[in-house]
Amino acid sequence: MNRKKRVRRMMILTMLLAMSIVFHMLEPSLPLPIPGVKLGLANILGLIALYMFGWREMLSINFGRVLIASLLRGIIFGTGFWLSLSGVALSSLTVIILKKFTPLSAIGLSVASATFHNVGQILAIVVIWSSIMMVYWLPVMIWMSIPTGILTGTLAVAVLKRISKGGSP
Amino acid sequence: MNKADKTFIAIVAVLSILLYGSLQYVVRATTSNQKIAVVSYRDEEVLRIDMSRNDKYTVQGTLGEVLIEVKDNRIRVEKETSPLHICSIQGWIEYANVPITCLPNHVVIVIINAVNEHGEDTTVQ
């Protein structure tokens, strides 16, 4: 990879990371009718990185987002941080495995990502509060991750289409 | 959305319904008629509530007072100070072990069975 391409790639990744941090930080203020449900808009940027570059770049966007957003909010190493981190870790791992071994499109991967983000978060709550019954909320969260996953996946597909029309990065 | 996506979404939906059904069965089967609600603040028990008496209680949370209401063997957080009000929106709970969690206030409410609490259903020989 020549120098120009390397700089271009780094710049795009930095912009994706910046946008995902903004989504991550703004999202809790979006009013949604069901408590505890988030759209997962920041996930779009991870998916874009996955399709534009690869799984390593997606991991750096996702983990970078959680780390920097938590640092900016001042909640790093607090409960919320561990919840985000475990959600992101499990969802990223699932997406990487499913992308490699199944024919799922970005929409299916997005639903999987949303679902396993919730599973990761609930597992973290179970460990932090040593209360297995937190699992009680998991089916509801999983149900909600289907429409939100389809929404973020569709948005990611739309963005990727426009990027490919405008020339490869 | 391709065929694999649809199949995957259907599997996720069916699995979550099955999980919901089995969890509902478990919580109903493990709840007795005599219930006690345990209120904890930062993992320490601060209040024990008899669920058979309709009443209102107040505990101090991190962001302010958390107002708890008991009515007809059910319990809810009536009012609290938090950014998203998740625990008050959650509404009434009536089964054992299903928690109400006020994360910003570090308050957790969980119902336990009074019978198990005193070990009345076990006989030591």
Q: What CATH number does residue A155 fall under?
A: 1.10.1760.20
Same-domain check for residues B41 and B24: no
Q: Let me know whether B9 and B63 are in one domain.
A: no
B63 shares a domain with B76? yes
Least confident of A54-63, A108-117, A131-140: A131-140
pLDDT of residue A129: 74
Average pLDDT over residues B76-95: 85
Q: Are residues B13 and B72 in the same domain?
A: no
Residue B122, in any domain of the structure: no
The interface pTM score, or ipTM, of the predicted complex is: 0.87
Provide the number of structural domains found in chain A: 1
Residues B43 and B18 in one domain: no
**Cβ atoms within 10 A of the Cβ of A58, count?**
25
Lowest mean pLDDT among A137-151, B43-57, B85-99: B85-99
> Is the same domain home to B57 and B71?
yes
> Is the CB of A79 inside 8 Å of chain B's CB atoms?
yes
Same domain, B38 and B82: yes
CB proximity B121 to A under 8 Å: no
* Whether residue B91 sits in one domain with residue B113: yes
CA distance B76 to B59: 13
For residue B116, pLDDT beyond 80? no
* pLDDT of res. A73: 87
Place of tokens 């699932």: A94
A-chain residues near B110 (CB < 8 A): 131, 133
Q: What is the mean pLDDT of chain B?
A: 86
| Same-domain check for residues B18 and B70 | no
Output A4 or A1, whichever has higher pLDDT.
Answer: A4
B50 plus B14 within the same structural domain: no
Whether B89 contacts chain A with CB within 8 A: yes
Contacts of B1 in chain A (CB under 8 A): 105, 107-108, 150
Q: What range does the domain containing A88 cover?
A: 3-165
Q: pLDDT-derived band of residue B66, with 50, 70 and 90 as boundaries?
A: very high
Instruction: Give the tens place of pLDDT for each residue, A103-127.
Output: 999 999 999 999 999 999 999 988 8
Minimum mean pLDDT range among A21-25, A34-38, A109-113, A157-161:
A34-38
Q: Tell me the nearest-neighbour CA distance from B6 into chain A, angstroms.
A: 8
- Are A81 and A75 in contact by the 8 Å Cβ rule? The answer is yes
Structural domains counted in chain B? 2
B84 and B26: one domain? no
- Is residue B12 located within the same domain as residue B68? no
Tokens of B120: 């009345």
How many Å apart are CA B108 and CA B125, to the nearest integer?
36
Per-residue CA distances from A99 to A84, A109, A117, A119, B20 (Å): 22, 7, 16, 19, 28
Q: How far is B4 from chain A (nearest CA, A)?
A: 5
Between A38-52, A61-75, A117-131, the lowest mean confidence (pLDDT) is in: A117-131
Q: What average pLDDT does this structure show over B33-47?
A: 89
- B83: containing domain: 33-117
In a domain, B124, yes or no: no
Lowest-pLDDT range of A4-8, A163-167, B27-31: A163-167
Residue B86 lies in a domain: yes
B125 located within any domain: no
What digits encode the pLDDT tens for the residues A84-93? 999 999 999 9
CATH value at residue B47: 2.60.320.10
Whether the CB-CB separation of B100 and B75 falls below 8 Å is answered with yes
In the chain, the amino acid numbered A125 is I
